[in-house]
Structure 1
Amino acid sequence: MKEERQLKERIKLLEKEIQTLTLELQSLSERVDEINDLRFELKGIKLFLSQQYPDFKNRLPELIKKLKSEA
């Protein structure tokens, strides 16, 4: 009886832990989706800028370096 009660309590704790981890995983998955959306937007912006300004591709590394130093 005592072992059975302990097992039931352990199962309840594990179920709660699984539920918590599932919610956390869903949250992380949403963030990954947002990051992927931003990556595609950036690719589109870079493509547009490189078509409008041919020297953009050459200046991009310089611009990124400058932005990193200001951050």
Structure 2
Amino acid sequence: MKEPVLKKRLDLTDREFKTLTDKLDDVDDIKNELKDIQTEIKGLKLFLNRMHPELKKQFPEIIKKLRG
């Protein structure tokens, strides 16, 4: 009588573990995507600072307005 209950619990635990693993993979993918975006933003800032040096002085003010 205990075996079927234990088997059901084990199956449920196994499914929960798989779900959590899938969610962790999703979070890892999002983390990698955010790193890529961060690198792109750094590149854009570097480019803009070189092409338009006056933006370097205005950048903190622009960020304040964006965060509003």
Tell me, yes or no, whether TM beats 0.5: yes
How many residues matched?
Answer: 68
- List structure 1 runs of 4+ shifted beyond 4 angstroms: none
Task: Indicate the residue corresponding to 2:25 in structure 1.
Answer: 26
Q: TM-score of the superposition, structure 2-length normalised? A: 0.91
* C-alpha distance in 2 between matches for 1:3 and 1:57: 70
Task: Indicate the residue corresponding to 1:53 in structure 2.
Answer: 52
Identity %: 40
CA-CA distance at 1:55 after TM superposition: 2.1
RMSD: 0.9
> Structure 1 counterpart of 2:17, which letter?
I
* C-alpha distance in 1 between matches for 2:46 and 2:55: 10
Structure 2 alignment gaps of length 5 or more: none
Task: Indicate the residue corresponding to 1:68 in structure 2.
Answer: 67
CA-CA distance at 1:41 after TM superposition: 0.2
